[in-house]
Chain A
Amino acid sequence: MTARPLSRRLIILAAAAAGTAGLLAPAPPAGGQGAPIKIGTVFAVTGPASSLGKPEKDTATMLQSQLQSAGGIGGRPVQIISYDSETDPTKAVLLIKKAVTEDNAVAVVGGTTSPESQAMADYAMAAEVPFMSVAASTTLSVPTRAWVFQTPQRNATAAAKALEYLVAIHAKTFAFLYRNDDFGQDGLVALRTYGLHQGVALVDAEPFAATDTDLSVQVARARVKNPDAMVVWSTPPTASIAAKNIRQLGIRAPILESHGIANRAFIQLAGPAAEGVVFPAGKLLVAGRLPAGDPQKALLEKYASDFEAANRYAASTFGGHAYDGITMLADALRHVGPDKARIREYLEHVRGFIGTGGTFNMSPQDHNGLGTRDMVLVVIKNGAWDLWK
Chain B
Amino acid sequence: MLALLPQLLLTGITIGSIYALIALGFVLIYGVTGILNFAQGEFSMLGALVCATLLAWHLPLATAALISVAATCVLGALTERLAVEPAFGAHPLTLIIITFGVSMALRGLALMLWGADPYALPEFTPGPPLVLLGGVLVRQAVWAIGLSVAVVGALFTFFVRTVPGAAVRACADNAFACRLVGISPRRVSLAAFTLSAALGAVAGIVITPITGATYDMGLGLGLKGFVAAVIGGLGNAPAAVVGGYLVGIIESLATGYLVPGYAGAITFLVLLAVLFLQREGVLHGAQRRQA
A residues neighboring B (CB under 8 Å): 46-51, 54, 180, 206-209, 211-214, 216-218, 220-221, 224, 236-237, 240-241, 248-250, 263, 265, 268-269, 271
From A50, A209, A213, A220, contact of B261 by CB (8 A): A209
In the complex, the chain B residue whose C-beta lies closest to that of A222 is B260
Residues of the A chain whose Cβ atoms lie less than 8 Å from the Cβ of B87:
none
Give how many B residues have a beta carbon under 8 Å from the other chain's beta carbons. Answer: 37
Q: Which 3 A-B pairs have the closest CB atoms?
A: A207-B261, A237-B212, A213-B211
In the complex, the chain A residue whose C-beta lies closest to that of B6 is A220
From A49, A224, A249, contact of B136 by CB (8 A): A249
Question: What's the count of A-B pairs with C-beta under 8 Å?
Answer: 97
Q: How far is the CA of A211 from the CA of B210 in the complex (A)?
A: 13
Residues of the B chain whose Cβ atoms lie less than 8 Å from the Cβ of A217:
4, 7-8, 11, 252, 255-256, 260
From A51, A54, A214, A265, contact of B210 by CB (8 A): A214
Q: How far is the CA of A50 from the CA of B116 in the complex (A)?
A: 6
In the complex, the chain B residue whose C-beta lies closest to that of A48 is B116
Q: How far is the CA of A271 from the CA of B210 in the complex (A)?
A: 11
Q: Most B CB atoms within 10 A — which of A50, A54, A263?
A: A50
Query: Are A49 and B260 neighbours in the complex by a CB distance under 8 Å?
Result: no
Q: How far is the CA of A46 from the CA of B108 in the complex (A)?
A: 10
**Could you tell me the distance in whole angstroms from the C-beta of A261 to the nearest C-beta in chain B?**
11
**Could you tell me the distance in whole angstroms from the C-beta of A239 to the nearest C-beta in chain B?**
10
Query: Are B4 and A214 neighbours in the complex by a CB distance under 8 Å?
Result: no
Query: Are B3 and A224 neighbours in the complex by a CB distance under 8 Å?
Result: yes
In the complex, the chain A residue whose C-beta lies closest to that of B223 is A211
> 23 A–B contact pairs at CB < 8 A?
A50-B111, A50-B116, A51-B117, A206-B260, A208-B261, A213-B210, A214-B11, A217-B8, A217-B256, A217-B260, A218-B260, A220-B7, A220-B11, A237-B211, A241-B212, A248-B129, A249-B7, A250-B136, A263-B117, A265-B119, A268-B120, A269-B118, A269-B212
Query: Are A236 and B261 neighbours in the complex by a CB distance under 8 Å?
Result: no
Q: Does B188 contact A (CB under 8 A)?
A: no
Q: How far is the CA of A217 from the CA of B135 in the complex (A)?
A: 10
B1-44 vs A, Cβ < 8 Å mask (1 yes, 0 no): 00110011011001100100000000000000000000000000
Residues of the A chain whose Cβ atoms lie less than 8 Å from the Cβ of B164:
none
**Could you tell me the distance in whole angstroms from the C-beta of A289 to the nearest C-beta in chain B?**
24
**Could you tell me the distance in whole angstroms from the C-beta of A268 to the nearest C-beta in chain B?**
4
The B208-243 residues at the A interface (CB cut-off 8 A) are 210-212, 214, 216, 220
Q: Does B92 contact A (CB under 8 A)?
A: no
Query: Are B115 and A51 neighbours in the complex by a CB distance under 8 Å?
Result: yes
Query: Are B211 and A214 neighbours in the complex by a CB distance under 8 Å?
Result: yes
In the complex, the chain A residue whose C-beta lies closest to that of B118 is A237
Given A209-B261, A209-B263, A241-B211, A236:B118 Cβ within 8 A: yes
Q: How far is the CA of A250 from the CA of B136 in the complex (A)?
A: 9
**Could you tell me the distance in whole angstroms from the C-beta of B244 to the nearest C-beta in chain A?**
13
Q: Does B207 contact A (CB under 8 A)?
A: yes
Query: Are B138 and A46 neighbours in the complex by a CB distance under 8 Å?
Result: no
Residues of the A chain whose Cβ atoms lie less than 8 Å from the Cβ of B122:
271
Given A48-B216, A51-B115, A207:B260 Cβ within 8 A: yes
Residues of the B chain whose Cβ atoms lie less than 8 Å from the Cβ of A218:
255, 260
Given A236-B212, A248-B129, A248-B138, A213:B18 Cβ within 8 A: yes
Q: How far is the CA of A26 from the CA of B209 in the complex (A)?
A: 60
In the complex, the chain A residue whose C-beta lies closest to that of B19 is A213
Q: Does B153 contact A (CB under 8 A)?
A: no
**Could you tell me the distance in whole angstroms from the C-beta of A276 to the nearest C-beta in chain B?**
17
Residues of the A chain whose Cβ atoms lie less than 8 Å from the Cβ of B138:
248
Residues of the B chain whose Cβ atoms lie less than 8 Å from the Cβ of A263:
117
Q: Does B264 contact A (CB under 8 A)?
A: yes
Q: How far is the CA of A47 from the CA of B216 in the complex (A)?
A: 11
